[in-house]
Structures are given as structure tokens and as C-alpha cells.
Amino acid sequence: MPSDIGGARGLAKAMASRFSYRLLPYAVCLAACVLIDLFYFPRALTFADEHRYLESAVRLAASGEFWVGADRAWEMPGPAIFFAVFVRLFGETGALIPIRLAQAILLVAQCGLVAFIARSLFRDRLAGFVAACLCALYPFLLFYQGLLLSETLFDTLLLAGVAALLWWRERGARIDLALVVASACFAAATMTKATLTIMPPLLIAAIAWLAGTGWRRTLAVLVAAACLYTAFMSPWWLRNAAVLHVFVPFTTGSAINLYVGNNPHNLEAGIDWATDVEPDVFARINAMPDEVARQRAFSERALGYIKQNPGTFLRAAVKKFVRFWNVIPNATEFRSGLYSLVSALSFGPVLILAIACALRRWRQWRVLAPIYLIVGYFTFVHVVTIASLRYRLPLEPLLIAMAAEPLAALAARVRKGDAPSSALG
């Protein structure tokens, strides 16, 4: 009997130890976020974009109507809806810290989602644990969760969509509840930031086809995913039709980015609305009171320039590609030694390890296809429009999931020779 009791105690201790290891990255992430939110950031907003998001949230909380300045659909309403909850609970001046802490919890959720994605892709619990640890301490994610921007909410919902997509694939890529969940997560991400546009149904269908389903079943999945995505997005479409009297599927502000990235005054692929545009043209179009007409004018100006200058467009696209994947910040004010060092020592190793993972797993490219397709899509969008490190942030948790695989393999070899990793249960 004593030996049985001792064995049970030993098993309980081992289980408790294993459970504590699993929780460690999430506890560290939450503690780091709280310290940063309370002691690094001032008790005020930092960037101009934060003021815009908070003003929209305050107006939404007060009136129940979504506005961005004088516009009704300049950007997606997700961040304003999220922030408005805290404005209603704590008031405009008291909402800042609660929003930051709520975003800290979202980042903790991102750690769990990245861990799930890594485990699903590589069938390796240690890879999932390593991915959670990397995500918990990743400087860019820790920094952005302290800002009242769309990034943390969007990244969380995008990761939820990817996790649900992998879950759906594991269940056989059928038309079932998992497909509904994946479509809902991707639609919620689009409602936060319009970058995804119509990509989710196409991504889902591509993954179904790569999973081995026939063309007929893939077509059925595409139709089902498109119908689900349409259903989830339809409240925004109906609302826009009611207030703008025209079909606006996403935003009226997207064309300005297309123009900024493609006009004769922006030969260096910059993103500055003050210097990288034609002053007279920009001022004239931006002064249009009708946001739909303004969107159309910016779009026509940009597309006309691309059509007339295809060579210049391609050269600018190369520069945007470099900007998008730069290891150090592009902005002059953030190219100091400290910022560049932090960026190079965080994103640099993640990028190298993710590439190493792609090379190690090149025969399993179908397994990693969801990440490849999303990375390719985001790169294409920002090479065509405007590119910066901020717009790359949604991809970095996915790269972290890939980077965890070679690190986990190395750790397994150190601990157990060439045996497959099975640490942490």
C-alpha cells in the first residue's frame, strides 16, 4: 500500500510539473504584457491611428452608429466595436488601460493558437510548446498589444481562422461545423481589417483540393464556404447599402493605399501621405465629400498610372517586397541601433528558422500550404499597394509556428538523441 501511495504521489507530481510547464509561456506572456502596458506605455495614446480608432469607438458607444470622421465605411468596424465595449463600461478616459489589458489576454490566446497550429502541422507537442514560448516573448507582438490599433484583434482572429482550417482539414475537409467555424473566424478577421477581402473561401477550397478531395467535392466546398462567408459578411454589406446607397463590400479607404503606392511622386515605394503623393491631385481627390466617389477617383488614378507605367510599377513592386520583408525597420526614426537590433534579433532568427522548416519539410508542402498561401497572398497585396513592417505582423505568428519545428527537432536531439520528441505530454 505505501508503495502504491508513493507511486500515485509521484505520478501526481509529474503531471503537475508537466502541466506547469505547459502554462509557463502563457503566464510569462501575460506578465510581460501587464508590465509593458502599465509601465512602458504612457497613460495616453501614442499614434495618430489610435486616436482615429478610439474616436470611432466613442461615437459608436454614444450613438450606436459607426463613423470614421465624416465617412461611414472608410475602414472596417471590428476595432471600433471591440473598443466601444470598454468605452461603455469605463468611459472614454478610463478605457485605455482596460483595452490594453484585454489585448494582453488576446495575445495570450495567440500563444495558444500558435501552439495548436504548430502541433497540428508537425504532430509534435514540443513544437507547440516552443511556438508558444516564442510567441510569448516576441517583441513586436508585445509592443502592438499595448496600442489601440487593429493589429492584435485582427491577428487573433486570423490565427483562429487558420487553427479552425487545420482542424477542419483533420476532420476530412467535409461540409460540417468545422467549416462553419473557420468561415466565421475568417469573416470576423475581415470585419476587423479588410486585407483578406475574398481570400477565405478560395483558401478553404484550395486546402480541400490539396487534401486530396476531387474537383467535384472541392467545388462543393467552395460554394459552401462562399455562402457561409457571404452570410457572415452580409450585415456589413446591408448596412453599407443602407447608408451609402451603393454596394460596398469592404471599405472606401482601400483605394487611397493603392494610389499612395502607385503614383508618379512615389518612385521609392514609400508610404508617406504627405510626401509620396501628387500634392494637387491628392488634395483635390481627398477633398471630395462623397467617400465612394473619392474611392473611385483614387482607384482610377492609380490604375491609370500602373497601366501607363508597367516597368515603373514592377520596379516599385520589388522595392515594396524588400520593404515588406526587411529584417530592420524601414522608417528613419526607427532605424536607430536599438530598434534595428531588436528587430534583427527577433524577426531575423524567426525568418531563418521558418525557411529552414520549409526546406526540411519540402516534401510535405501540402501540409504547410495554408501558411504558404496566406504568406503569398499578404505579400502580393502589399507589393501592389503599400508595404511596411506593420502590415507584415499578421504573418509573423505563422512564421513562428514554422520556426518552432527545427528548434523542437534540435531540442529533441539534445535530450534524446535522434528519438522523436514527445516532451510535455
DSSP, residue by residue, 77-143: SHHHHHHHHHHHHH-TTTSHHHHHHHHHHHHHHHHHHHHHHHHHHH--HHHHHHHHHHHHT-HHHHH
Task: Say if residue 362's pLDDT is above 80.
Answer: yes
Hey, how many other C-beta atoms are within 10 angstroms of the C-beta on 217? 17
The whole-number pLDDT of residue 11 equals 45
pLDDT tens-digit map of 293-304:
999 999 999 999
Task: Say if residue 139's pLDDT is above 80.
Answer: yes
- Mean pLDDT over residues 137-163, rounded? 98
Instruction: Please check whether residue 394 is in contact with residue 386, taking contact to mean a CB–CB distance below 8 angstroms.
Output: no
The whole-number pLDDT of residue 421 equals 44
Instruction: Please check whether residue 371 is in contact with residue 87, taking contact to mean a CB–CB distance below 8 angstroms.
Output: no
Instruction: Please check whether residue 360 is in contact with residue 383, taking contact to mean a CB–CB distance below 8 angstroms.
Output: no
Task: Say if residue 157's pLDDT is above 90.
Answer: yes
Q: At what angle do helices 151-170 and 199-210 cross, to 10 degrees?
A: 30
Task: Say if residue 10's pLDDT is above 70.
Answer: no
Its sign, for the CA torsion 271, 51, 301, 284, is negative
pLDDT tens-digit map of 63-85:
999 999 999 999 999 999 999 99
The whole-number pLDDT of residue 398 equals 98
pLDDT > 70: percent of the chain: 93
pLDDT > 90: percent of the chain: 87
Q: What's the start-to-end Cα distance of the chain, in Å?
A: 28
The whole-number pLDDT of residue 319 equals 96
Instruction: For residue 96, give the nearest of 136, 41, 31 by alpha carbon.
Output: 41
Q: At what angle do helices 396-416 and 125-136 cross, to 10 degrees?
A: 130
Instruction: For residue 134, give the nearest of 47, 214, 32 by alpha carbon.
Output: 32
Instruction: For residue 344, give the nearest of 331, 356, 327 by alpha carbon.
Output: 327
Give how far Cα 333 sits from Cα of 38, 142, 260, 336, 338, Å. 24, 20, 20, 7, 11
Which residues are bridge partners to 68 per DSSP? Answer: 71
The whole-number pLDDT of residue 17 equals 53
User: What is the spatial distance between Cα 293 and Cα 176, in angstroms, rounded to a whole number?
Assistant: 41
Average pLDDT, the chain: 93
- Mean pLDDT over residues 134-157, rounded? 98
Task: Say if residue 141's pLDDT is above 90.
Answer: yes
- Mean pLDDT over residues 108-115, rounded? 98
The whole-number pLDDT of residue 12 equals 47
Task: Say if residue 418's pLDDT is above 60.
Answer: no
The whole-number pLDDT of residue 19 equals 58
Task: Say if residue 422's pLDDT is above 50.
Answer: no
